[in-house]
Amino acid sequence: MKNFDQALHDLDLTLFEKITSQSTDADKRSLLACQLAVRELTTEYNYLEIGSYLGGSIQPHLLDEKCRRIYSLDKRPAIQPDARGIDYVYRDNSTARMLETLREVSPDLDKIITIDGDSRTLDPAAVEDKIQLCFIDGEHTDAAVLSDFEFCLSVLDNSGAIIFHDAQITYNGIADCVRLLEENATPFHAYALPSIVFVIEIGDFPLHKDHRIMQRLIDNHQSYLFSLQNNDEFRRFANKPPFKLVRNLLAKVRGRNYSE
C-alpha cells in the first residue's frame, strides 16, 4: 500500500475512499493538486472548510502531517436553500456523525476543530489560527457564498487560497467575490479547475505555478464544458415551445433577433 505522500503525489483517489463525497473524480484530483501545491509553498498549513456534511473533503487533510489544524464550519441544517431553486435535504446532518465517519479515516481527530454556526454571524475570533487554505462548499446561494468568502478573507493569512466547489451553481456569488477584491485593490489570481472547482489565490500564493495545477489550466476546456453542460437543463427548459414562443416575440419587439 502507498504511503500518504506517494498517494498524494499520484493524486490517488483512494485518499477519499472512506467517506462518500458528492465531488466528481476530477474535482477530487483538482483538490489534491491544490493541497500538493500548498504543501510546496509552506512548511505546514491550516485548513478551513465551510460546509463539511460527512467530512468527505476533510479526509486527505486529516491524513496530512503537514496540515497542522483543520477547522470545520457548518450550520448543520436539515434543509438548505439552493440557487437551483430546490431546497436540499441533509439527513442526520450532525457534527457527531461527521466525526464518527472521520474516525474511519484516522482515529486521531485532535487537530480538527468543529464549529456549528453561520459565517454571517460568527465572530472570526473563533478561528484562532491563521488559515492558508479555505474550501467553501456550504449553502449554495450567491449571498451565502459571498458571506463565506468574506469570512475566509477575515481569517486568511497574509497570503493564501480560497477554493469553491459547485462553481457552476454559485457563479454569480463568485463573481461578487471577485468584484469585492477588485474594489478593494486586493492582489489575486482566479481560475477554474475541472470539474467545477474555482480557485482564488490571495496575495503571493501562486498555486498555479505547480505543474499539476498548470496542466489543469492548460486543459481548462474540461471545467468550462462540464459547467455549461451541467446547466444545460435550464436551456432545454427555456427552449420548450411555450417559453421559446414568448422569447421570440420579445426578441422581435426589442429588435434583438437581427444583425445589421
pLDDT digits (tens, 9 = 90+) for 56-89: 999 999 999 999 999 999 999 888 888 988 888 8
Residue 247 lies inside a defined structural domain of this protein: no
Phi, psi of 198 (to 5 degrees): -125, 130
Residue 239 lies inside a defined structural domain of this protein: no
How close are the terminal C-alpha atoms of the chain, in Å? 66
Residue 217 neighbours by CB under 8 Å, 6+ apart: 191, 193, 208
Cα separation values, 201 from 60, 109, 249, Å: 20, 28, 44
Residue 253 lies inside a defined structural domain of this protein: no
CATH code where residue 199 lies: 3.40.50.150
Q: Can you give the residue range of the structural domain that contains 115?
A: 4-219
For the stretch 86-118, pLDDT in tens is 888 888 899 999 999 999 999 999 999 999 999
Q: How far apart are CA 116 and CA 104, in angstroms?
A: 22
Residue 197 lies inside a defined structural domain of this protein: yes
The number of distinct structural domains making up the chain is: 1
Residue 224 lies inside a defined structural domain of this protein: no
Residue 169: what pLDDT? 96
Q: Given CA atoms 172, 176, 182, 186 in this order, what sign does their dihedral have?
A: negative
> What ranges make up the beta strands (E) of the chain?
45-50, 67-74, 79-80, 88-89, 112-116, 131-136, 156-165, 188-193, 197-202
Residue 248: what pLDDT? 78
Residue 240 lies inside a defined structural domain of this protein: no
Residue 246: what pLDDT? 75
Residue 34 lies inside a defined structural domain of this protein: yes
User: pTM score > 0.85 for this model?
Assistant: yes
Q: Given CA atoms 50, 222, 203, 185 in this order, what sign does their dihedral have?
A: negative
Residue 236 lies inside a defined structural domain of this protein: no
Nearest to residue 154, comparing CAs of 176, 186, 116? 186
Q: Which residues of the chain have pLDDT under 70?
A: 1, 255, 257-260
Nearest to residue 153, comparing CAs of 209, 89, 202? 202
* Secondary structure element (H or E) that encloses residue 237, with its range: helix 232-238
Nearest to residue 55, comparing CAs of 16, 110, 2, 111? 16
